[in-house]
A and B are shown apart, each in its own frame.
Chain A
């Protein structure tokens, strides 16, 4: 793997920035895609958001001061873009911030790139019933198995608060799953 500082220096150099950015894209596109996909569920939406994420990163690379890791900075952009997208979707569907986002399930069920079984669909429904922050923490930890320290850098929340958030989310999901339907 390329040394991160060398990569950042190359990104700032007009002669090498395009080549360096191609390296960034190939290095992070898959990881960022899965983070976005878990949040917005549908492939086409995730694809659009991933493109926006890299275009934003490209246009703002001069503002990246290197205070955090490049991956942390990219994750932040991806998560912000996903949250902005979800807010737009809520508005379109007349859903308030307090309601859950189970309306996303309708599009998931018709998504050709989802082949989960009944339990996995139910799990997605349970996740969508969580408050936004708890949902985000659960998705990052349960599916991606990110370390709490990495999540803390990305979300700007303490490790303790993240652990508590994940614990509450797990309890709520288990309760949701155990309810007879």
Chain B
């Protein structure tokens, strides 16, 4: 005998599978007895500090980074350490240097001119000048 169908429409679409009587009602009841006991772990309470800690660490790190960068990059006059060429302190004026020198020498003006004259006389400079002018 030849069994042949030309398309799916010719096959009875009715469900050929059966279940025992009251199967689903019994199943629904029985499965509840077979379920294992569950252990419920209460959710751990997370304190405010634990929640905020990563953000506080991040803020501290950024603040540290900011101050380090500011300290390193500020101008040498402000105390920055980027420029290592430290210039020696220069006297503001020559006068002030000489002022400070003479302020420590205790001679009178008359003594000073006498000193200059003695120097000229001893070096023969006076004779040289005399000859240049008068001869």
Instruction: List chain A positions with a Cβ less than 8 A from chain B.
Output: 14, 17-18, 21-22, 25-26, 29-30, 33-34, 37-38, 41, 43, 47, 50-51, 54-55, 58-59, 113-124, 142-143, 170, 173-174, 177-181
Contact = CB atoms under 8 A, between A and B. Distances in A.
Given A47-B27, A120-B16, 12 more contacts: A22-B32, A43-B19, A51-B27, A55-B31, A58-B35, A113-B20, A114-B18, A115-B16, A118-B3, A119-B10, A119-B11, A174-B7
Contact of B5 (A21, A41, A122): A122
B40 A14 contact: yes
A117 B16 contact: yes
5 contacts: A21-B32, A34-B15, A51-B34, A55-B34, A122-B5
Given A29-B24, A119-B10, A173-B8, A181 B18 contact: no
Given A26-B28, A33-B24, A54-B31, A117 B8 contact: no
B6 interface: yes
A24 to B, nearest CB: 10
A17 B36 CA distance: 13
Contacts, number: 102
Q: Give the secondary structure class of B's interface.
A: loop
A119 B16 CA distance: 11
Interface residues of B, number: 27
B36 A179 contact: no
Given A29-B27, A119-B11, A120-B11, A58 B4 contact: no
Interface in B1-56: 2-8, 10-12, 15-20, 23-24, 27-28, 31-32, 34-36, 38, 40
A11 B5 CA distance: 49
Contacts of A178: 4-7
Contacts of A124: 16
A55 B4 CA distance: 44
Contact of A115 (B18, B27, B32, B34): B18
Contacts of B7: 174, 177-178
